[in-house]
């Protein structure tokens, strides 16, 4: 499988999902209203927190699928592991749905600060959220398996179709049929069922034929035990990570009115898009890095690591700087709501910059995942939680969304500077300073200087012509990335080759 083709497919799929979300979300706000859209934000928050129950099984399955491809008869063991994981997922999916249903009255009455939506409607919607979360979480098992098989072109085609049904279909429902938030969530439930069935069928078609066929209820403890250290390492670090990135949102959901939390959800969606931009590359390189390590090709793995980290830094830093420097203008041009733009202006810049750092900081985890050794990651996650959780909680409670954003930025920066060299020293001794000096710092310096200069020379105002504004934003972002890309050695070499060929030709 080609990393290049998979990366391009991942970017097309992710870009489409981001774009359609950015286009449709303001219309959801318009047709549902701020409070009902706040429920959509609550759903996203619940879905994130209930990922704690994943227990590291999805990423483990993805890694084992990639590893099995590099081994003789690797899928004999893999199928035993898959059936065992399926049984665990079914049990936990039902548990999630029941738990959310049984606590829906309390969440509606105590936690959510609604003013216009009735209590009955809140309870009904929360109950549907529980079922949807269970279904989409179960589907993530098969999505991870397909990703580990590197069938990412198919995965992105289906993701585009499902995103279209989820967003465009939901908008059509609101415009032409009903604006009742209960019907909106019911429609999303139907899409969740379709998603699970499609991923399940395709994944089983992709699995190679083996002599061993596990029974329907064949739980294989030996297979599970063999990956348990790796799985528990991911489970623990994922739990800590969810605590770190979702604590502020959980606190704010109980402090802010449902309408203000809807505005905050818009800010979180824009800032979250920055980390999503790095997803296609990580999806493409993690299975390949694991495969190369299993084959003992460490130099090839390291080359992929360096090139991918440069590309992710270039993209994430360029986008986060543009979003941060033009936060209020972007929010207004996106939503057409001046109140939402004013509310999110000071908040968005900090979350955007923090997420830009987060995207490049994730590479030290990709390295540990490739080697299948997560002990250091578990230690780092623990230290990170002990230090950062109290700060995030205090900032959110006492200083609201702005305090949480500022704390998020500084914590991400300090952690990247302190923890990444420790991981590199463990797995690639003598690598960190060279990586920092040659691959990271030049891009950071040039991109930041160019972005600040553009902001000074091109002070865009909030205007009603939103299409013109977005066109300027896109052109500015592309210009920034193109100019900063000359810091990447491979780009310079490719350009030099093009120039040499042109000179020879003429």
pLDDT at residue 413, as a whole number: 92
pLDDT at residue 52, as a whole number: 61
What ranges in 149-227 are assigned the alpha helix state H? 152-172, 181-206, 221-226
pLDDT at residue 499, as a whole number: 62
Number of H helices, E strands in the chain: 19, 0
DSSP letters, 251-311, are: HHHHHS-HHHHHHHHHHHHHHHHHHHHHHHHHHHHHHHHHHHHHTT-HHHHHHHHHHHHHH
Q: Dig out the tokens for 195 from the structure.
A: 């998603």
pLDDT at residue 125, as a whole number: 85
Residues in the chain: 506
Q: Which residue has the tokens 């279909």?
A: 169
pLDDT at residue 464, as a whole number: 56
Q: Is 73 left (phi over 0), alpha (psi -120 to 50) or beta?
A: left
| Helix, strand, coil distribution of the chain in percent, nearest 5 | 90, 0, 10
pLDDT at residue 500, as a whole number: 66
Cβ atoms of 422 and 368 within 8 Å: the answer is no
Cβ atoms of 347 and 264 within 8 Å: the answer is yes
pLDDT at residue 159, as a whole number: 87
- CA angle centred on 87, ends 81 and 93, rounded to 5°: 130
pLDDT at residue 178, as a whole number: 87
Q: Which residue has the tokens 């800010």?
A: 267
Determine which helix (DSSP H) or strand (DSSP E) holds 162, and give its type and residue range: helix 152-172
**Ramachandran angles phi, psi of 209, nearest 5°:** -75, 135
What ranges in 295-374 are assigned the alpha helix state H? 298-325, 327-335, 338-361, 363-371
Q: Is 209 left (phi over 0), alpha (psi -120 to 50) or beta?
A: beta
DSSP letters, 5-72, are: HHHHHHHHHHHHHHHHHHHHHHHHHHHH-HHHHHHHHHHHHHHHHGGGGGTTHHHHHHHHHHHHHTST
**Can you tell me the distance from the alpha carbon of 231 to that of 187, in angstroms, rounded to the nearest whole number?**
34
pLDDT at residue 414, as a whole number: 92
**Can you tell me the distance from the alpha carbon of 203 to that of 220, in angstroms, rounded to the nearest whole number?**
20
- Helices 363-371 and 338-361: crossing angle in degrees, nearest 10, is 40
| CA nearest neighbour of 54 among 139, 155, 163 | 139
Greatest CA separation found in the chain?
Answer: 76
**Can you tell me the distance from the alpha carbon of 113 to that of 399, in angstroms, rounded to the nearest whole number?**
19
Residues 6+ apart with CB under 8 A from 9: 152, 153, 155, 156, 157, 280
Per-residue confidence in pLDDT tens, the chain, 506 aa:
556 677 677 778 777 877 787 778 778 877 887 777 777 777 777 766 666 665 566 777 777 777 777 666 657 677 777 788 888 888 888 888 888 888 888 877 777 777 778 888 888 888 888 888 888 878 888 888 887 777 778 888 888 898 899 888 988 998 888 888 888 889 989 998 999 999 888 888 887 776 666 666 767 777 777 777 777 776 776 777 777 777 777 777 777 777 777 778 788 878 887 877 777 777 778 778 887 887 778 888 888 888 888 888 888 888 888 888 888 888 887 777 777 788 888 888 898 899 888 888 888 888 888 887 777 887 887 888 888 888 888 888 888 888 888 998 998 899 999 999 999 988 888 888 888 888 888 888 888 888 888 888 877 766 656 677 777 777 888 888 777 777 776 766 766 666 666 666 65
Cβ atoms of 274 and 4 within 8 Å: the answer is no
pLDDT at residue 465, as a whole number: 67
Cβ atoms of 250 and 395 within 8 Å: the answer is no
């Amino acid at each position: 499988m080609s990393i290049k083709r998979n990366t391009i497919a991942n970017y097309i799929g992710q870009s489409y999902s981001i774009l359609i979300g950015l286009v449709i979300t303001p219309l959801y706000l318009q047709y549902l209203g701020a409070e009902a859209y706040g429920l959509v934000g609550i759903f996203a928050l619940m879905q994130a927190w209930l990922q704690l129950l994943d227990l590291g099984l999805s990423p483990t399955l993805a890694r084992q699928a990639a590893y099995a491809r590099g081994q003789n008869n690797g899928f004999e063991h893999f199928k035993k592991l898959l059936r065992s994981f399926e049984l665990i997922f079914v049990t936990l999916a039902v548990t999630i749905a029941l738990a959310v249903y049984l606590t829906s009255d309390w969440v509606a009455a105590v936690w959510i600060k609604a003013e216009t939506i009735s209590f009955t409607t809140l309870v009904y919607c929360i109950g549907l959220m529980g079922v949807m979360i269970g279904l989409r979480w179960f589907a993530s098992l098969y999505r991870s398996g397909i990703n580990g098989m590197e069938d990412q072109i198919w995965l992105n085609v289906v993701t585009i179709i499902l995103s279209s049904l989820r967003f465009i279909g939901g908008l059509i429902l609101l415009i032409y049929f009903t604006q009742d938030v209960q019907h909106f969530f019911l429609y999303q439930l139907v899409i969740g069922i379709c998603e699970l069935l499609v991923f399940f069928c395709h994944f089983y078609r992709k699995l190679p034929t083996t002599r061993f066929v596990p029974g329907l209820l064949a739980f294989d403890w030996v297979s599970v035990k063999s990956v348990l250290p790796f799985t528990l390492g991911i489970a623990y670090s994922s739990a800590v990570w969810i605590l770190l990135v979702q604590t502020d949102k959980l606190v704010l959901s109980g402090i802010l009115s449902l309408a203000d939390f809807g505005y905050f959800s818009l800010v979180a969606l824009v800032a979250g898009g920055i980390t999503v931009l790095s997803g296609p590359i990580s999806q493409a390189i993690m299975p390949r890095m694991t495969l190369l390590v299993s084959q003992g090709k460490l130099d090839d793995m390291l080359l992929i690591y360096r090139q991918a980290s440069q590309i992710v830094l270039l993209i994430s830093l360029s986008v986060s700087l543009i979003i941060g420097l033009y936060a209020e203008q972007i929010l207004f041009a996106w939503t057409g709501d001046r109140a939402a733009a004013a509310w999110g202006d000071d908040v968005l810049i900090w979350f955007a910059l923090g997420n830009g750092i987060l995207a490049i900081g994730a590479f030290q985890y990709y390295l540990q995942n490739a080697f299948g050794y997560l002990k250091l990651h578990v230690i780092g996650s623990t230290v990170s939680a002990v230090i950062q959780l109290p700060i995030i909680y205090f900032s959110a409670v006492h200083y609201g969304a702005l305090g949480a954003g500022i704390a998020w930025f500084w914590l991400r920066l300090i952690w990247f500077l302190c923890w990444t060299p420790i991981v590199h020293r463990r797995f690639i001794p003598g690598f960190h300073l060279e990586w920092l000096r040659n691959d990271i710092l030049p891009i950071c310096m040039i991109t930041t200087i160019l972005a600040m200069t553009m902001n000074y020379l091109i002070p865009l105002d909030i205007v009603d012509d939103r299409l013109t504004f977005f066109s300027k934003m896109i052109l500015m972002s592309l210009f920034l990335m193109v100019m900063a890309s000359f810091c990447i050695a491979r780009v310079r070499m490719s350009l030099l080759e093009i120039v040499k060929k042109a000179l020879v030709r003429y």
